[in-house]
Chains A and B, each alone.
Chain A
Amino acid sequence: MIKVSDLTYVYQQGMPYEKTALDSLSFEIPDGDFTAIIGHTGSGKSTLIQHLNALVRPTSGKIEIDGVDITAPNADLRTVRKNVGLVFQYPEHQLFEETVYKDIAFGPTNMGLSESEIRNRVYEAAGFVGLPLELLEKSPFELSGGQKRRVAIAGVLSMQPKVLILDEPTAGLDPKGRDEILDQLVRLHAENEKMTIIFVSHSMEDVARIAKDILVMNKGRLAMQGSVAEVFAHSSELREMGLNVPQITELTHRLIADGVDIRPDVYTVKFAAELYAELLKEAENV
């Protein structure tokens, strides 16, 4: 379980550009959760996730992961970073090795694992992200954008983290690449019930499609936390923060406003299609 208590981070403290990036955040994320973090640009999402694997030290406050305080001065950062895998935005920009295999093996090699263990993990991670095995001996720079990103995600998965955090995993991908990444995340979560997945996203559609819970950030503060249904029920508050609800939710709410009798908790197109189909059928029968 991730337990964040009273986390505050002041950027460039004492300088003229001083800015409070995170303002006394407190929340918990249970094991095996699938949480989306949403928020306007500059709301502190990226800063928050970098705290979760101790890349950034908080100005004050505490973060506990499975009861271990990772903000303690004597915290074992290696273990923390092994347990909490962080995939940065545009992770393909961090690829550097000659072959895809070596790049995925970078994390496990740094962990000091045996050759055979590393091999197993690389194959397993490549399998998770749906990377064809014949690509493993290629140079990562020969791959397509979507493939590169999957290599980079595999590079973090190969460390077998308990918590996987992704910063905008679908940014800059075409619709096909985006669907692939999202589907893989869903599969990953289904196959590893204990793995907590946290991802930052600007797409409410993506959030509605794959996440279970949502954490809303606004100006460095935690604005809301709850299930997808709970959070998207507050559409007007979200809009005030420069956010939105999925378009299909918006459409449904407008239909309700126009007097159509339909339930308001519609977040995915798939679910909406079923509802609307039923509605049409009823209308025909009348």
Chain B
Amino acid sequence: MFKDITIGQYVEGNSFIHKMDARVKILLSLFYIIILFLISSPVAYAVFTAFTLFLVYLSKVPPKFILRGLKPMMYILVFTAVLNLFMTQGSTVLWVCPFWSTLKITKEGLTTAVLMILRLVYLVIGTSVLTLTTSPLMLTDGIEKILKPFEIIKVPSHEIAMMMTIAIRFIPTLSEETEKIMKAQMARGADFESGNVLKRAKAMIPLLVPLFISAFRRADDLAVAMDSRCYHGGKNRTRMKQMKMTVRDLWATLFMVGFAAAVIFIQKLM
């Protein structure tokens, strides 16, 4: 169940998007999200859908990986859809509940529900394309560089990036550990799946205590290992891999800006 989380699950590749500069990718992803929240007309969404599919195609990441990232979102998606479907007021009524007339579906509700789902799905797909094509290391390097100008107002950009790197690095390790401890306790008859909320919460203790202990132990080991290799923070630290922007990034940015302009134009027009 923990294997479903896509964060930090970089898929190696050699596509156009893989080769882009991490900084540009992060900023363009932000841009992508902003556009996603600016549009609301069905036609603009259609164009956006085409663009998203194009991105996925360009990234050469097997669609299976991207769909896997959506799985944990199922409940939120269904919940949002149901709420929007029934709660949106509108003029064109499509269906009225025969038992309770307040419960009805309007044309506006249906549109909002569909668009809301699309918005959430594209949000995940857009960010997945970023995390699937950028190694966690490049990602945090990019964030560090983007945050650099904020050091003037005492934002510890290097430390933030380092903490994120470590956190991302340990997600798979800890999820593996979780699975192992779960199995070990299940072998002793622990039951994580049945019972009411209280009982289930209590059943988590045999999982969480060992997990926390092991996380602290790993953190301690890591701190000692870093210390023994003379790690002392961000000052005067150079990189093994320098980030370089290329023509590719320029094209990507121009394309993105062009796309944004087009979509917003369509949105305004409709």
Binding site for B on A (CB under 8 A): 12, 14-16, 50, 53, 55, 78, 81-82, 85-86, 88, 91, 93-96, 106-107, 110-111, 141, 155-156, 159
Contacts and interface: CB of A to CB of B under 8 A. Distances in A.
Contact of B184 (A16, A94, A141): A94
19 contacts: A12-B3, A53-B187, A55-B183, A55-B186, A55-B187, A78-B189, A86-B187, A88-B180, A88-B184, A93-B180, A93-B181, A93-B214, A94-B210, A96-B205, A106-B185, A106-B188, A107-B188, A111-B189, A141-B213
Given A78-B189, A96-B209, A106-B185, 13 more contacts: A12-B3, A14-B64, A15-B64, A16-B11, A55-B183, A81-B189, A93-B214, A94-B184, A94-B210, A96-B210, A110-B188, A111-B189, A155-B188
Instruction: Pick the most buried of B64, B189, B209: most chain A CB atoms within 10 A of its CB.
Output: B189
B258 interface: no
A91 B205 contact: no
A156 B187 contact: yes
Interface residues of B, number: 22
A86 B188 CA distance: 8
Contact of B189 (A15, A88, A93, A107): A107
A8 to B, nearest CB: 20
A94 B185 contact: yes
Contact of B186 (A12, A81, A91, A93): A81
Nearest 4 CB-CB pairings of A with B: A110-B189, A96-B209, A107-B188, A94-B184
A106 B181 CA distance: 14
B172 interface: no
Given A94-B210, A96-B209, A156 B181 contact: no
Contacts of A82: 189
Contacts of A155: 188
B191 interface: yes
Instruction: Pick the most buried of B62, B65, B185, B187: most chain A CB atoms within 10 A of its CB.
Output: B187
Contacts of A14: 64
B190 interface: yes
Given A16-B62, A93-B214, A88 B209 contact: no
Nearest to B11: A16
Given A82-B189, A110-B190, A88 B183 contact: yes
Interface in B1-29: 3, 11
B206 interface: yes
A88 B210 CA distance: 14
A240 B186 CA distance: 37
Interface of B: 3, 11, 62, 64-65, 180-181, 183-191, 205-206, 209-210, 213-214
Given A96-B206, A96-B209, A96-B210, A50 B189 contact: no
Q: Is the interface of B mostly helix, strand, loop or mixed?
A: helix
Nearest to A77: B186
Nearest to B214: A93
Contacts of B205: 96
Contacts of B62: 16
Nearest to A96: B209
A81 B181 contact: no
B99 to A, nearest CB: 38
Contacts of A93: 180-181, 184, 210, 213-214
Contacts of A85: 187
B28 to A, nearest CB: 26
Contacts of A81: 186-189
Instruction: Pick the most buried of B183, B184, B186: most chain A CB atoms within 10 A of its CB.
Output: B184
Contacts of A86: 184, 187
Nearest to A82: B189
B189 A159 contact: yes
Contacts of B190: 106, 110
B212 to A, nearest CB: 9
Contacts of B181: 93-94
A91 B189 contact: no
A93 B11 CA distance: 31
A17 B192 CA distance: 28
Contact of A110 (B11, B65, B191, B214): B191
A94 B207 CA distance: 8
A156 to B, nearest CB: 7
B204 to A, nearest CB: 10
A48 B95 CA distance: 55
Contacts of A106: 185, 188-190, 206
Instruction: Pick the most buried of A81, A82, A93, A141: most chain B CB atoms within 10 A of its CB.
Output: A93
B210 A95 contact: yes
A12 B9 CA distance: 15
A280 B205 CA distance: 61
A78 B189 CA distance: 7
Contacts of A78: 189
B202 to A, nearest CB: 12
